[in-house]
Amino acid sequence: MTPPASPSAAAARFTGRAVTGERRLSDALSEVALDDGRTVMAKRGDGPGAVRAEAAGLRWLAGAGAVPVPAVHGADARWLVTNRVAQGPPDGRAAARFGRELAALHAAGAPAFGAAPPGGPEDAWIGLAPMRNVPGDDWPRWYAEHRVLPYLRGAVDAGAVDAAGAADVERVCERLPELAGPAEPPARLHGDLWNGNVLWGADGRVWLIDPAAHGGHRETDLAMLRLFGCPHLERITDGYQEVAPLADGWRRRVGAHQLFPLLVHTVLFGGGYAGQAVAAARSALAAG
């Protein structure tokens, strides 16, 4: 079947309702009003497999029954249609609850590091960058091979990271077995947990959108949440630790876990992200 050509057509197809209005929020995202009074979101995929990966990720996160995510109405090769989240202001009580719920999400687990959500593709995406979900049972080796080094190679090839910076990132990868802290079981990660994917709901809860979900180390989600700032971050962390205390030294490991998203941003956007990635690598080496 040919995918619908517009956000409204996609929303009508996947909800079975007539459309009464449409508001474009960006080139890829629209709010679509339905004849039953609901508003849904219609998102156009960024590349092959992107919609399938995001839909599978949302369903997998929802299956944990922990942090709320928008319900998926349907997805095809081009469009994803989900519920719209009514938003409110950031709130400390909601932040602490989110921390507890994020801990429960992680504890729901995954079959392996790098495991894709059920029904999700191996060749997935994080934002606009391709991301391969290749299973592994040893986190330091898997993280180096499938999350850090592929993007480091891309950054070096683009001239964004010089030889000295690349050598420092490679040293982190070599030393990950000693830098990673105690072994952890695979966690059910959101995978792209920056502030823009955290919605403060009008219902007093924090909702998550736009996942790059996979099995990983729980500290990676938390490190990404710290990368670009988030309201009430310490309340979130405190709530998390009430349920699932982090291993000693977790703050020293933040830089190592931030290497992945920083290198992804370096490949996509260049500029200052390369310097931040190298600084994170040097911080990880110094902390170790």
- At 236 the pLDDT is 98
Structure confidence by residue, pLDDT tens digits, 63-87: 999 999 999 999 998 999 999 999 9
Q: Report the alpha-carbon distance of residue 160 to residue 272 in Å, rounded.
A: 9
CATH 1.20.1270.240 fits 112-197+210-237+248-287, yes or no: yes
Q: Has 168 been annotated as catalytic? A: no
Is pLDDT at 201 greater than 90 in this prediction?
yes
- At 48 the pLDDT is 63
> Is the full-model pTM beyond 0.75?
yes
Mean pLDDT of the chain: 96
Name the CATH superfamily, with its identifier, for domain 7-83.
Answer: Phosphorylase Kinase; domain 1 (3.30.200.20)
Average pLDDT for 9-35: 97
Given 76, 91, 192, 221, the catalytic residue: 192
Average pLDDT for 14-38: 97
Q: Which residues contact 245 (CB under 8 A, 6 or more apart)?
A: none
- At 67 the pLDDT is 98
Evaluated on CA atoms 118, 192, 281, 238, the torsion sign reads negative
β-partners of residue 113 are 136
Q: Are 59 and 72 in contact (CB under 8 A)?
A: yes
Is pLDDT at 4 greater than 80 in this prediction?
no
Average pLDDT for 275-287: 96
- At 49 the pLDDT is 85
The DSSP-derived string for 135-197 is -BS-HHHHHIIIIIHHHHHHHHHTTSS-HHHHHHHHHHHHHHHHHS-S--PPEEE-S--SGGG
Average pLDDT for 259-267: 97
User: Could you tell me how many residues make up the chain?
Assistant: 288
The gap from C-alpha 153 to its chain's centroid, in whole angstroms, comes to 21
Structure confidence by residue, pLDDT tens digits, 93-139: 999 999 999 999 999 999 999 999 999 999 999 988 999 999 999 99
- At 46 the pLDDT is 74
Ranges of each domain in the chain: 7-83, 112-197+210-237+248-287
